[in-house]
Structure 1
Amino acid sequence: MTDQHADLNAKFQKRIFSGIQPSGNLTLGNYLGALKRFVQKQDEGIETIYCLVDLHAITVWQDPEALRRQTREAAAAFIAAGIDPARSILFNQSQISAHAEMGWLLNCVARMGWMNRMTQWKDKAGKNAEKQSLGLFAYPTLMAADILLYHATMVPVGEDQKQHVELTRDIAAKFNHDYKTEFFPSPAPLIEGAATRVMSLRDGSKKMSKSDPSDASRINMTDDADTIAKKFRKAVTDPEPLPETLEGLEGRAEARNLVNVYAALADISPEQVIAEFGGKGFGTFKPALADLAVSKLEPISTEMSRLMADPAEIDRILGSGAEKADAIAQPILAKTLDIMGMIRSR
């Protein structure tokens, strides 16, 4: 972040905002790339706001009952992973209408050229762009609204979402310039950890994805201990043992991925993993990784099952979180409307 951005952000309370789409089947990639870090941030003295972005989910058609179930499942994953609703704000986006309202206001600030450059739009729309929803095209502006609605100064994201935070900074800067104010901060992306981008267990060149046709390609947050262990033991690798140095992983995507996953689960560096397992074959390393993963993930999947058995309690937690989030969002939305010249007489 440049000195200019840092100077601007110094005027704002340190606040983290991040959201996950409740599209079902959260994976190990979601846990290591997001949930695990979200939990750690609770202990850093920074206000933490976490959102299940169900308005983003409907940029493509969703079965209503499935969306409700998936939203509760994502909430259960947050809580089971260690998010404490008493220390962090956890809610689903659609309970706060200010998200949609701020999204429209920022649609009128963002430029078409910026939106056309978004790589995820190009990837998702492909050759059928004319058949996609307007929401899918415009959702990066809603994402900017999600962040700026809380004056968030930091946004934990994976590498593939960094462009969206950069767009948010562009929108904030244009708003501040156009209205001659310093109302919005310039949020910084937080990209941390050894496994911010977890790759497929079947193909180390592809990101682990809940949409992959092969269930063996990913670890689901709902997998039981036996399934977790089996998937790691069957993960695709090459015939060579692990190298003695980290540089020896060059060109070995599957091996590098498993080393990174071990490091992230064990809270150590990839160099430390290599120091322990360098020269050993995957017949030794994969069972050790499987045991580690089970010890970390099986308690989460068990707690998720317990929470999902009481959907009313999940809804209560989300509602309570929405009340807390709304108390922050409404004054910021109101000031935005004032700055833009809207009459508000009731």
Structure 2
Amino acid sequence: MIRLSGITPSGEMHLGNYLGAVRRWAAESGPEDLYFVSNLHAMTTHHEPATLRRLTRHQLAVMIAAGVPGDAVFVQSDLINEHMALTWLLECTCTFGEARRMVQFKEKSDGRESVRLGLLTYPVLMASDILLHGAAEVPVGNDQNQHVELARTLARRFNANYGDAFVVPRGVLPETAARVRDLTVPEKKMSKSASDVGGIIYVLDEPDTIRRKLRRAVTDGMADVRYAPDEQPGVANLLEIVAACTDTSPTAVADGIDSYRDLKEAAAEAVIAELGPVRERALDLLAGGGELDKIRSAGAERARDRSRDRLANALHLAGVD
């Protein structure tokens, strides 16, 4: 069974991405699973080409450095011919109404006079990602589940109209992972698009930077170290970070700490210890260039080989071979 997961290079990878997804991919990867950098998805709004190129390499390097198997990783645009060919078939299978009903399109286009067509059609590209690689399961949160449902709809419709070409995937909730929130606004999750970088710990941050950010993390005036997410979100966030990095529980972490200062120091030590080896390996990959390029090229070729027959069959069934 194939599971497929991707990450969009809309910003540098941060602690939330790492703990919530990438570390789990490294630990739980199955022999058929695939993980990709979805750089084409980062083009639905204005972007700088040089920045997109840099962030794509950055994401790939961190994934490899974190232990995601190199033979399971690829970059989406390295298979652009395959992805675009299937996207066109699926756009000719999807209706305008189905695309327009996607919640994320409604939210991101609301109140704007002009939006890019890619924002409307990108769920079809996502369906292409899933169906091209034969994924049976797609771990997604609730915000993306509607897109997986569209992929299911398009797979069934194409199979019914033209013949069996695609596995009908299903969305699955990922295993419970750390919910890392912004250090300065703990009511919000840590996000690559946040305007205040002081609340974000990036995977490639230097240890001194990590310490500084955590020392400035918002807590409260209670001076009481306990795990109460609703009442003390800032303290709870720090406890969850330590717990995730040390494989324990937030409550257990709280039992051994008496002050907010000690909590912040414990968080800094835990994060630095967790990210240190990943940072060092990723920087080596980015500096060397050659090894990362070889991994990327080999990953693309393996992904292409695995999808070639599936795409050829779909094109044949649709009458465009």
Asked if Structure 1 and Structure 2 have the same fold, meaning a TM-score greater than 0.5 normalized by the shorter chain, the answer is: yes
> Equivalences for 1:47-196 in 2 at 5 Å?
47-85=32-70, 88-96=71-79, 97-128=81-112, 130-179=113-162, 181=164, 183-195=166-178
Q: CA deviation at 1:122?
A: 2.8
TM-score calculated relative to the size of structure 2: 0.90
CA distance in 1, matches of 2:42, 2:20: 19
Partner residue of 2:22 out of 35, 40, 44: 35
- Please name the residue that 2:180 is paired with: 198
Map of 1:313 onto structure 2: 291
Aligned ranges 1:262-341 → 2 under 5 Å = 262-274=242-254, 276-277=256-257, 280-340=258-318
1:188, CA displacement in angstroms? Answer: 2.6
Contact 1:194/1:269, CA 8 A, preserved across alignment: no
Q: CA deviation at 1:216?
A: 0.8
Counterparts of 1:107 and 1:18 in 2: how far apart (Å)? 22
What letter is aligned with 1:116?
Answer: R
Alpha-carbon contact 2:136-2:167 (below 8 Å) kept: no
Q: Does 1:22 align with 2:9?
A: yes
CA shift in 2, pair 1:175/1:275, >3 Å: farther
The normalised TM-score by structure 1 is 0.84
Structure 2 CA distance for aligned equivalents of residues 179 and 187 of structure 1: 21
1:261 is matched by which residue type in structure 2?
Answer: I
CA RMSD of aligned residues (A): 2.2
- In structure 2, the CA distance between the partners of 1:252 and 1:206, relative to structure 1 (3 Å rule), is same
Contact persistence 1:156–1:191 (CA under 8 A): yes
Count of aligned pairs: 319
Instruction: Give the Cα–Cα distance (whole angstroms) in 2 for the partners of residues 266 and 177 of structure 1.
Output: 50
Alignment correspondent of 1:7: none
Stretch deviating more after TM superposition (93-102 or 169-178): 169-178
Q: Please list the CA deviations of residues 284-315 of structure 1 after superposition, one character each: whole Å capped at 9, or x if unmatched.
A: 22211111001001222222221111223322
Moved more, 69-78 or 264-273: 264-273
Q: 1:199 to 1:168 in 2, by over 3 A?
A: farther
Q: Could you tell me how far apart the structure 1 residues matched to 2:159 and 2:241 are?
A: 41
Secondary structure of residue in 2 paired with 1:55: helix
Structure 1 residues 283 and 343: CA distance shift in structure 2, 3 A:
closer
Q: 1:276 to 1:333 in 2, by over 3 A?
A: farther
Cα distance in structure 2, aligned partners of 1:275 and 1:170: 49
1:228-259 CA distances to partner (integer Å, 9 max, x unpaired)? 1221121111223133xx5x433433233323
Deviation at 1:219, TM superposition (A): 0.4
Tell me by how many angstroms 1:207 deviates: 2.1
Q: Secondary structure at the match of 1:50?
A: strand
Counterpart amino acid of 1:127?
A: G
Query: Aligned pair in 2 of structure 1 residues 46, 63: CA closer, same or farther (>3 Å)?
Result: same
Q: Which runs of 5+ in 1 are unaligned?
A: 1-13
Say whether residues 1:221 and 2:241 are aligned partners.
no
Residue 133 of structure 2: SS of its match in structure 1?
coil
Question: Any idea what SS the aligned residue of 1:188 has?
Answer: strand
Q: Percent identity?
A: 39
Q: For 2:253 and 2:152, how far apart are their aligned partners in 1?
A: 37
Q: Which moved more, 1:151-160 or 1:286-295?
A: 151-160
Cα distance, 1:57–1:126 mapped onto 2, change above 3 Å: same
Q: Distance in 1 between matches of 2:39 and 2:204?
A: 20
Q: Deviations over 1:108-159 (max 9, x none)?
A: 223333322323223332311x422111111111011101111112223344
Partner Cα distance (1:26, 1:258) in 2: 19
Q: Distance in 1 between matches of 2:139 and 2:288?
A: 29
Gaps of 5+ in 2: none
Cα distance between partner residues in 2 of 1:94 and 1:118: 24
1:237 aligns with 2:219: yes
Q: Which amino acid aligns with 1:161?
A: Q
Q: 2:220 is aligned with what amino acid?
A: D
Task: Tell me the distance in 1 between the aligned counterparts of 2:96 and 2:240.
Answer: 38
Cα distance 1:336–1:272, how it changes in 2: closer, same or farther (>3 A)?
Answer: farther
Q: How far did 1:275 drift? A: 5.1
Instruction: Give the distance between the partners of 2:238 and 2:110, measured in 1 at CA.
Output: 31
